[in-house]
A and B are shown apart, each in its own frame.
Chain A
Amino acid sequence: MSLDYSEDMVQFTREPQLVELDDLIAKPVETNPSKKYFLALTFTASLLLIGIICTGITFYFGIGTWGNNQTIGWAFGITNFVFWVGIAHAGTLISAILFLLRQKWRNAISRFAEAMTIFAVMCAGLFPILHMGRPWLGGYLMPYPNSMNLWPNFISPLVWDVFAVSTYFIVSLLFWYLGLIPDFATLRDRSKDKIKKIVYSFFSLGWRHSNRHWRHYEKAYMIFAGLATPLVLSVHTVVSFDFAATIVPGWHSTIFPPYFVAGAVFSGFAMVVIALLVVRKVFDMENIITLNHLEKMNKIILLTGSMVGYAYLMEAFISWYSGVHTEQYSAINRAFGDYAWAYWTMVSCNAFIPQFFWFRKIRRSIPAMFIIVILVLVGMWFERFVIIVSSLSRDFLPSSWTYFTPSLIDLGILIGSFGLFFTLVLVFTRTLPVIAMSEIKGIVKGAQPTHNGGAN
């Protein structure tokens, strides 16, 4: 085993030619999709349709169709919101933080992860709007001069959320598009089809791969990465403030920001691994997205999973150490109360199951990691559910204590959000290059000059 950390990871199982890379990456975009693709699209679109129907029912009859009640006012709606925002964070971590850390292996997966960021934020953004019940009043969240002279309450964490998530969406989208511009240019120069060429020319903005542009481009890319890094940390911190800034026992806790960020990266990486496993198989990209890449991802899952497990222990410890009766009760209630089933699902999926990744064999075994990351996603969804529902179900007023049962509409909207996400992912794989061509070419062997003065 090599312990020399200055040595770079082997990026490709077999060093490719640059043209080969282009052909491989552009193939899904340039060829007609197979029957299997349409089958998959039909499946995800059906899930999406379920979501659309349930959303329609929600708008027609109101929030009363959900399982929410007087005590538990935030249930599936906010659980799903936090879950999807968390999924989004992996993309920015890969594209920005790993970029700043000069991790070359990110080049193969960054485009895909960034796309997932954008789609996940779209899914997340739906839920607060649905939860409003009167979605057309959402405009009041933005400060605009209105006839009532009212402004949003800027010191409310819920308004911080609006600013954080919308900024995050816009910045991710720009970052993503910036990376796509050179690839659009490459696709433009490859395409023989007239209409495709017009579309690619439009989106490439007439990019010429000019070095006088590259130098600004690289600097701007660095700046974007530098700004996106604190941004991504701030977004989930602000999401955790929705809870931490209240006084509900089980929510009022200073560990929430780091705990939420670690959990977000954890679940996001799990989602990226699932999607990459499918994509590399379907599009024959095993040479570019190698087992080495997946192993690195699994290591991060192991790390963040352990951080989340630590947070569970620390939450229980602090509630005992605080000496506050209600806090102690809320911790005991979580583990042994009505929601014990959800709590232990969460602990086993998030803290115990990822520990299998200590073994190299399991880290590099595709079936094993597939099962583990799916369980991680289940566990992370339950984490948000436990935090939100079990805390609210036992608030300061014992006469209002109650139990939450989701309605079919709740479940339908949750399923619909997965449908939306995977439909967007599928459409993305066929319309845009899933690997950043201009980035992956730069790390092929011999792609960078040796600076030996041009001697061959």
Chain B
Amino acid sequence: MSRSNKLHSVAAIFDNPDKVIFAAEKVRDEGYKKFDVNTPYPIHGMDEAMGLGSSKIGFVTLFFGLFGGAFILLFMWWSLALSYPLFIGGKPFFSLPAFFPITFETAVLFACVSTFIALITVFFKLPFNNHPLHDTDYMKQVSVDKYGIYILLEDEKFDKDKIIELFNSLGASSTELIYQPKEEKYSMFQPKYLIFLVFLAVGTSASTYLMLNKLMYINPFNWMEFQEKLNPQESSLFFADRRSMRTPVNGTVARGFIPYPYKGIANPKEVLSNPTLPTTSFLKLGKKKYLTFCSPCHGNFGEGDSRLNGQFPNGPTFHSDKVRNFKDGMIYHIITNGQNSMSAYDRQISREERWAIVDYIRVLQRAKNAKNSDLEEIKKEPSTND
């Protein structure tokens, strides 16, 4: 480091810790404020000798530790109880003890990392590699086995000769004047630097591209997306029918399904009887399913005035005498089996839902042909217009 002729500080070297601690006390007593002691290892009692209070770094640790713990606890509560609740044997979504380990670990992580960062950047104000003390004989001695004090030029009582005299009277083995380093100027537009930047940019983009698009997909790295197994719908020579999947045996009944006895008969002689009770919730289910599956053709009120009118064979109205005289089982049969151009809905609508639709159609029919007694019943009840 080349030096300018601007003074930075006056430094003195002491040979043993007793001398330096005594000297530090004296320097402080003389009224100097901007001074520092350099020792190769921390010396007991030096903080008091220099008149320094205790370090405040602990508050950083405390704050960020508590913050980290609280943050992760809230985050885990949010993710497992609100964002994506996991059902595990009916246990509560958030039971505190199970969340302690991660809360603790994260609190420690936040505390340590924040302490470290605060220590280096805020408390030490490092990195500082062009400090005037670097590369001086003074620094080279205090980093091995000597003990040094230096007083800065900025100090109010700074007087070069007086300080040297003071140091000598305190038993300094040598004193040294420390000068500011010459200011070095680095231009951003130096060709060397620009070429370096270009290489860096090109190198980074090229290697990223190659890595992500080429290298990562060179065989065998297909990321196990292609595996030696057969998927349904693929062909395989293993079975005589050359299908990879096995179709169920004839007459197989899927779980939760009951075979419908009048399947495929256009006009059955007898039909099932309605096994359900038209409760409010059941009718609401019927309404929902009716609006989903039936209303596109038959209209929202079963009048055959669908929104697909003209684009599609028109569904008949439910308010004709013929339909009103159908048994419940007949309507169920038509939904299950289909009729004319209407296809069967047994695969899309469950057994219970089909009966619910039947009940709801009865409600629509009753509403179109309401009796006076119905109106009186309605007046007695609060509005159920939903």
Q: Which residues of A line the B interface, CB within 8 A?
A: 17-19, 22, 60, 62, 134, 136, 143, 149-151, 153-155, 157, 159-160, 163-164, 167, 170-171, 174-175, 178, 182, 185-186, 188-190, 201-202, 205-220, 223-224, 227-228, 230-231, 234, 238, 241, 437-439, 441-442, 446-456
Contacts and interface: CB of A to CB of B under 8 A. Distances in A.
Contacts of A157: 101
24 contacts: A22-B144, A134-B223, A134-B224, A153-B80, A154-B80, A154-B98, A154-B102, A171-B112, A174-B116, A186-B143, A208-B131, A209-B142, A210-B36, A213-B123, A216-B123, A223-B58, A224-B112, A234-B104, A441-B40, A446-B17, A448-B17, A449-B21, A454-B22, A454-B171
Interface of B: 16-24, 36-47, 50, 52, 54-55, 57-58, 61, 65, 75-76, 79-80, 83-84, 86, 88, 95, 98-99, 101-102, 104-106, 108-109, 111-113, 115-116, 119-120, 123-124, 126-131, 133-134, 139-140, 142-145, 170-171, 220, 223-224
B144 A159 contact: no
Contacts of A454: 18-19, 21-23, 170-171
A456 B19 CA distance: 8
Contacts of B113: 170, 174
Given A170-B112, A185-B143, A454-B171, A159 B127 contact: no
A186 B142 CA distance: 9
- Most chain A CB within 10 A, of B65, B102, B223, is at B102
A146 B220 CA distance: 27
A208 B139 contact: yes
A227 B106 CA distance: 12
Given A216-B123, A450-B18, A160 B101 contact: yes
Given A208-B133, A209-B143, A214 B79 contact: no
Nearest to B126: A205
Looking at chain A's contact residues, the main secondary structure is: helix
Nearest to B109: A167
Contact of B76 (A62, A154, A220, A448): A154
A18 B119 contact: no
Given A22-B144, A159-B102, A186-B143, A143 B17 contact: no
A214 B39 contact: yes
Given A442-B41, A447-B41, A454-B23, A211 B47 contact: yes
A211 B101 contact: no
Contacts of A216: 55, 57, 119, 123-124
A413 B128 CA distance: 44
Given A211-B37, A438-B40, A441-B40, A154 B126 contact: no
Given A134-B223, A230-B108, A210 B145 contact: no
A163 B102 contact: yes
Contacts of B129: 201-202, 205-206
B40 A18 contact: yes
A160 to B, nearest CB: 4
Nearest to B123: A216
Contacts of B120: 205
A227 to B, nearest CB: 5
